[in-house]
Structure 1
């Protein structure tokens, strides 16, 4: 059963994976339709491969966490980045690495760019987005049709329960709002000095390699960019062995040992 954190008066479901105290934790930040449960076996596999503890939670309005108010603000990812230090403090996390997927990757970038951020050793970003692109907006528009006219709402409800509208509408309505076309994280990126690992599938339906290029060309710290063939928007599910290998090879840039954890398997 997940645990609960109380953050700003809201209950957030969370869980730890791996051995506590094994080093700075990898903190997972889920995608815009994700949750703690939707990481599936990845947190355990990540902990086994790296030897590091892994922490994951569902943000407000997702999974088994408290619901959020709708509509979400256009700057909802900035709001989540501002809340992240409270989540880390409530979980007792000091030095850490952030592993963000999609929206979670954008939240991680915003957090890293803040001058108030402390304890961050590195960023591992899967399918990140820093600008809007027609390919992504078209994919979200198709998802909205599937949600209102197909079975997507029913399928998402298995993971989000009473939060299903918070999860989907909060995400889709923000991204498809005409004002969101101006959303752009590129001006923030030069403030990021931590090592960055970028992972994206070549067939990502929500973004092009221009997202990786925008980040790699602007961050101030070392950056490694990997485009995975035969892979869509979720490399940690679709190419998990490759993702784990890239993570393990990247960790020395963050000052963390570069060998696989004993007994680890990469598929």
Structure 2
């Protein structure tokens, strides 16, 4: 797929504990506008705006909608996080930073799209802001703490002990890289987090849901998208993507884009 034409705008949005770096992609060189309901992206545990790479521009082009992504506090170009993540951090996103972005940009209705732990955050945002959420899209999201999830995190943690690996993370997170890594590994591997479930504290969703998952995802089985799809009273679809790991929007971008476009038609 050729690189689409698009317009971007970068902002720094104040939140309770610091500024959030935010980028808006608008299709066809139009100035950022929310006349069409925007798609809001929620990044993964080691992610940030830059690591979405060319995907948001392609998403804006194929849907004709503005796409918004922001670095959570402590990640990417946002301000440092003031402390440790709470064990309720997945649900907290719907109460604090996402509303700050939503209000600052004047977003009314929105479509939530989250990758990995961002999928859990997108689910909480869809539930907490149900009157404004038109659709929920999750990609490689976790719905509970599975043995495969913990094994994948332990393997990744060992990998980051090799020379140069933390420096690769610092390319995107600067001197926050160590905090970013430990916020992921130490939170998920803590015995206190073992009983976490995405369904806990979420009322039934009433928007359409598309739950995508790679069949080779090293961080979770197909049980995760199935459980997410079960959370809605609206129409839902589970899309298991063949020969695909944990990052479908990079590994199978065309499949993901076509599935999203079909949902939003």
Write the distance in 2 (CA, Å) between the matches of 1:60 and 1:50: 28
Write the distance in 2 (CA, Å) between the matches of 1:133 and 1:34: 21
SS in 2 for 1:136: helix
Q: Offset of 1:167 from its aligned partner? A: 1.3
Is this contact kept in 1: 2:130–2:206, CA < 8 A? no
1:7 aligns with 2:15: yes
Which is helix-richer, 1 or 2?
Answer: 1
Q: Offset of 1:177 from its aligned partner? A: 0.4
Structure 1: gaps of 5 or more residues: 252-257, 259-267
Is this contact kept in 1: 2:39–2:111, CA < 8 A? yes
SS in 1 for 2:19: strand
* Residue in structure 2 matching 1:37, options 50, 70, 86: 50
Q: How does 1:99-138 map to 2 (within 5 A)?
A: 99-114=113-128, 117-138=130-151
Is this contact kept in 2: 1:70–1:166, CA < 8 A? no
SS in 2 for 1:135: helix
Distance 1:142 1:230, change over 3 A: same
User: What's the counterpart of residue 86 of structure 1?
Assistant: 100
Q: Offset of 1:166 from its aligned partner? A: 2.2
Is this contact kept in 1: 2:211–2:226, CA < 8 A? no
Higher RCO (CA 8 Å, separation ≥ 6 residues): 1
Structure 2: gaps of 5 or more residues: 1-8
Backbone CA RMSD of aligned residues: 1.6
SS in 2 for 1:107: helix
- Pairs aligned (count): 251
Kindly provide the CA deviation profile for residues 131-187 of structure 1, in whole angstroms up to 9, marking residues without a partner as x: 010111011111112223443211111111111122111111110101111001224
1:186 aligns with 2:194: no
TM-score using structure 1 length: 0.89
TM-score using structure 2 length: 0.90
1:224 aligns with 2:237: yes
